[in-house]
Chain A
Amino acid sequence: MNTQFKKGVLELIVLLVISKEDKYGYQLVSEVGRIVDVNEGTIYPLLKRLTNEKYCETYLEQSAEGPARKYYKITVAGRVYLDILKREWLEFSQTVNNFIKETSKDDKE
């Protein structure tokens, strides 16, 4: 898929993933990887930015196997931002879909 498409929608997907449940880095990355095929390395900077912009926060939790894990938790501001992103995405994809249908109809005539 077009890398520019992926980049734009990655933020939305990451926020959606942590809106259900707090996730630690690797868990989050693999979950996002199931939806979009993206270079895993690029998700961490995105998480960093979301944290810097206060859309999510982090905390450490000990785990039975191995070292402490860093969890990502969505904030209230993050939820508001997610709502905006979701609405924008739906509107945008709707418009594009409609346009695709419109133009393919023209083709048939």
Chain B
Amino acid sequence: MTRNEFFQKLEARLNILNEQERNDILSEYNSHIEFRMQDGKTEEEAIADFGDVDALAEEILSAYHIDTDTVWNKNGEYYIKKSVSFINHATERLLSFSLSDVAKVVVEFLIVLLIILLISVPFNMISDEIGYLFGFMPHTINTAINSIVKLAFDLVALIITFVILYSFVKTRIINRNVEIPSKEKMQDFTFSDGGSANFDVNTGKPLKKTKQPKEKSGDGSFGRVLSNIFVWTLKILVFLVVWLPAIFITISAIVITVLLTIMLITRGIGLWGLCIIGAGCCITGIGFTAWTTQILFGGKHNG
């Protein structure tokens, strides 16, 4: 990371502070880098010593008693950052598993998929049933209610799916107890009289880590590339499937609502119900579009 990049990132994270405080902090880091370079380090090395920019910014803000979670939650980029590190972590863990462990994870994943499928069945049935309940209503209202109910149920099902998948990755991949070779397992449990379980009884030396991530050095970056690809496909997918339709629907909702309102005013037709629904659609559409826009392009506003 170059100095410009580092300061751009740090400044964006600290934008909640007033300008003077922010410049104060940034100038301290700047002079630190200068001194380090005088001592013979390169700019890159000096910056690398600071570690992760996010962690650093968190540390700085906590000095002002600012809770970064509430601040950054407003920033869509933060969610992406969080999910990137989550996926990174998961892929790196997965790469450190042995073949049999990977096979187990795959089987478990299939079971989870089956569970999700089973859960979605009653959801579909209920939303269909509700559709029939409003059969006595005029056709237009019935269709509107039906589509709203269906959307709501789909949304709930989607959230449940997401939560299940997230907890699956968290418990079965990241926090998984990988099977350890039986010999080392023995040493872990054979002694009961004092001493820590992490030390070998005979030599007093710390036990070897039970499972070294074998391909770690080579494939740590591979995991990162993989998750980067994942994030970019996700971004493109969100752009195509969510953002474009959202914009289209919002614009058409606005147009329809305006037309309906004009009709309501000029001809006095009893369309006020649809007008209200239309207005609601407009507001949620605009809100949703703004939110996804921020997630997709949020990074640019900071720079």
A contact set with B: CB distance below 8 Å: 25-26, 29, 39-42, 44-49, 52, 66-67, 69-70, 106-107
Contact = CB atoms under 8 A, between A and B. Distances in A.
Interface of B: 24-25, 27-29, 31-32, 34-36, 49-51, 56, 59-60, 62-64, 194-195
B260 to A, nearest CB: 56
B28 A44 contact: yes
Contacts of B50: 39-41
Nearest to B29: A44
B22 to A, nearest CB: 11
Contact of A69 (B25, B31, B56): B31
Given A26-B32, A52-B63, 13 more contacts: A26-B35, A40-B49, A41-B29, A41-B49, A41-B59, A42-B56, A44-B32, A47-B28, A48-B25, A52-B64, A69-B31, A70-B28, A106-B194
A41 B26 CA distance: 11
A40 to B, nearest CB: 6
B31 A67 contact: yes
Contacts of A39: 49-51
Nearest to B50: A41
B223 to A, nearest CB: 24
A24 B36 CA distance: 14
Contacts of A70: 27-28, 31
A107 B51 contact: no
Contacts of B24: 48
Given A39-B49, A39-B50, A107-B194, A45 B59 contact: yes
16 contacts: A26-B31, A26-B36, A39-B49, A39-B51, A41-B50, A41-B51, A44-B28, A44-B32, A45-B60, A48-B24, A48-B63, A66-B34, A67-B31, A70-B27, A106-B194, A107-B195
